[in-house]
Chain A
Amino acid sequence: MSKQPRTTRAKAGHENDILRFSLLFRLQHMGMFIGVIILIITGLPLKYPDTRIAHAFFNAVGGVAVSGIIHRVGAAILIVVGTFHMWYIMFNADGRRNFKALLPGFKDVGDVYRNVIYFFGFKKQGAQFGRFSYLEKFDYWAVYWGMVVMILTGLMLWFHDYFMSLLPKIWMDVAREAHSDEALLATLAIVIWHFYNVHFNPSRFPGSFTWWHGKMTKEEMQHEHPLEYEQIVREAEEREAAVRVAGLAEEDVMPPTEETPAEVIVTPPSDAVPPKVEPIVEETEKEEPTS
Chain B
Amino acid sequence: MHPSTPMNRDCGIRNALLGTLICLCMIAWGLPVCAASNADCLSCHSAPTIHKTQGLKTVPLYVDTQGFGASVHAKMNCTDCHADLKSEPLKHKTKVAPVDCAKCHEKKGWNPNTIHYAVPTTKTPPACKDCHGNHYIKPKTDPASRTYKTRADATCAVCHAGQNAVKVYEHGLHSVMTTKGQPAARCTDCHSPHSGVLATSPVVCSMCHDREYKQYEHSSHGKAQLEGNADVPSCVTCHGAHDMLPKSDPLSKTHFTNEPALCSGCHDDAEKMRSYDLPTNTLATYRHSYHGVANKYGDKKAAVCSSCHEAHNILPSSDMASSASKANLPRTCGKCHKGLLKKVAQGQSHVVISSQKKDVLFWVSFAFKWLTIGTMLALIGHILLDLQTRIRKRLWKDHE
List chain A positions with a Cβ less than 8 A from chain B: 1, 4, 46, 49-50, 58-59, 63-65, 116, 118-121, 126, 160-162, 164-174, 176-178, 181-182, 184-185, 188-189, 192-193, 196, 201-203
With known contacts A177-B364, A181-B368, A192-B376, A165–B341 Cβ distance under 8 A:
yes
Query: Are A119 and B339 within 8 A (Cβ)?
Result: no
Query: Are B296 and A49 within 8 A (Cβ)?
Result: yes
* 5 A-B pairs closest in CB distance: A170-B347, A168-B346, A181-B368, A169-B347, A119-B385
Q: Counting CB contacts under 8 A, is B375 at the interface?
A: yes
Complex: how many Å from CA A197 to CA B279?
A: 48
Complex: how many Å from CA A192 to CA B287?
A: 30
Complex: how many Å from CA A167 to CA B359?
A: 16
Complex: how many Å from CA A174 to CA B390?
A: 43
Chain B residues in 8 Å Cβ range of A63: 297-299
With known contacts A119-B389, A177-B368, A181-B365, A162–B296 Cβ distance under 8 A:
no
Query: Are A1 and B394 within 8 A (Cβ)?
Result: yes
With known contacts A65-B299, A119-B386, A193–B361 Cβ distance under 8 A:
no
Complex: how many Å from CA A184 to CA B368?
A: 10
Complex: how many Å from CA A170 to CA B352?
A: 11
12 additional contacts (CB under 8 A) given A160-B337, A188-B376: A64-B294, A165-B344, A166-B343, A168-B343, A171-B347, A177-B361, A178-B368, A184-B372, A188-B372, A192-B376, A192-B380, A196-B383
Checking B297, B298, B346, B394 against A170 with a beta-carbon cut-off of 8 angstroms, the contacting residue is B346
Complex: how many Å from CA A50 to CA B283?
A: 13
Query: Are A169 and B392 within 8 A (Cβ)?
Result: no
Complex: how many Å from CA A192 to CA B347?
A: 36
Checking B293, B392, B394 against A46 with a beta-carbon cut-off of 8 angstroms, the contacting residue is B293
Complex: how many Å from CA A116 to CA B368?
A: 26
Query: Are B297 and A173 within 8 A (Cβ)?
Result: no
Chain B residues in 8 Å Cβ range of A126: 389
Q: List 6 A-B contacts (CB under 8 A).
A: A118-B389, A161-B337, A170-B347, A170-B359, A174-B360, A202-B387
Query: Are B385 and A49 within 8 A (Cβ)?
Result: no
Q: What is the total of A-B residue contacts with beta carbons within 8 Å?
A: 111
Q: Which of A164, A166, A172, A184 has the most CB of B within 10 A?
A: A164
- What bracket does the count of chain B residues touching chain A fall in? 35 or more
Q: Counting CB contacts under 8 A, is B36 at the interface?
A: no
B355-381 Cβ-contact flags toward A at 8 Å (1 or 0): 000011100110011011001100110
Complex: how many Å from CA A185 to CA B369?
A: 9
Query: Are B343 and A165 within 8 A (Cβ)?
Result: yes
Q: Is the interface of B mostly helix, strand, loop or mixed?
A: helix
Query: Are B392 and A121 within 8 A (Cβ)?
Result: yes
Chain A residues in 8 Å Cβ range of B339: 161-162, 165
Chain A residues in 8 Å Cβ range of B368: 177-178, 181-182, 185
Chain B residues in 8 Å Cβ range of A185: 368, 371-372, 375
Query: Are A64 and B353 within 8 A (Cβ)?
Result: no
Chain B residues in 8 Å Cβ range of A64: 293-294, 297, 299
Query: Are B297 and A193 within 8 A (Cβ)?
Result: no
* Chain B residue nearest to A61 in the complex (CB): B297
Q: Which of A116, A181, A189 has the most CB of B within 10 A?
A: A181
Complex: how many Å from CA A188 to CA B388?
A: 21
Query: Are A170 and B299 within 8 A (Cβ)?
Result: no
Query: Are B346 and A49 within 8 A (Cβ)?
Result: no
Query: Are B351 and A4 within 8 A (Cβ)?
Result: no
Complex: how many Å from CA A171 to CA B347?
A: 8
Complex: how many Å from CA A171 to CA B344?
A: 10
Query: Are B345 and A169 within 8 A (Cβ)?
Result: yes
Would you give the shortest CB distance from B35 to chain A, in whole angstroms? 81
Q: Counting CB contacts under 8 A, is B338 at the interface?
A: yes
Query: Are B343 and A167 within 8 A (Cβ)?
Result: yes
Chain A residues in 8 Å Cβ range of B360: 170-171, 174
Chain B residues in 8 Å Cβ range of A120: 385
Checking A1, A160, A170 against B348 with a beta-carbon cut-off of 8 angstroms, the contacting residue is A170
* Chain A residue nearest to B398 in the complex (CB): A3
Would you give the shortest CB distance from A145 to chain B, in whole angstroms? 10
Query: Are B371 and A119 within 8 A (Cβ)?
Result: no
Chain A residues in 8 Å Cβ range of B293: 46, 49, 64
Would you give the shortest CB distance from B343 to chain A, in whole angstroms? 5
* Chain B residue nearest to A48 in the complex (CB): B293
Query: Are B372 and A119 within 8 A (Cβ)?
Result: no
With known contacts A63-B298, A64-B294, A161-B339, A178–B348 Cβ distance under 8 A:
no
Query: Are B361 and A173 within 8 A (Cβ)?
Result: yes
* Chain B residue nearest to A124 in the complex (CB): B393
Q: Counting CB contacts under 8 A, is B131 at the interface?
A: no
Q: Counting CB contacts under 8 A, is B115 at the interface?
A: no
Complex: how many Å from CA A121 to CA B301?
A: 61
Q: Which of A167, A168, A169, A192 has the most CB of B within 10 A?
A: A169
Would you give the shortest CB distance from B224 to chain A, in whole angstroms? 30
* Chain A residue nearest to B368 in the complex (CB): A181
Chain B residues in 8 Å Cβ range of A181: 364-365, 368-369, 372
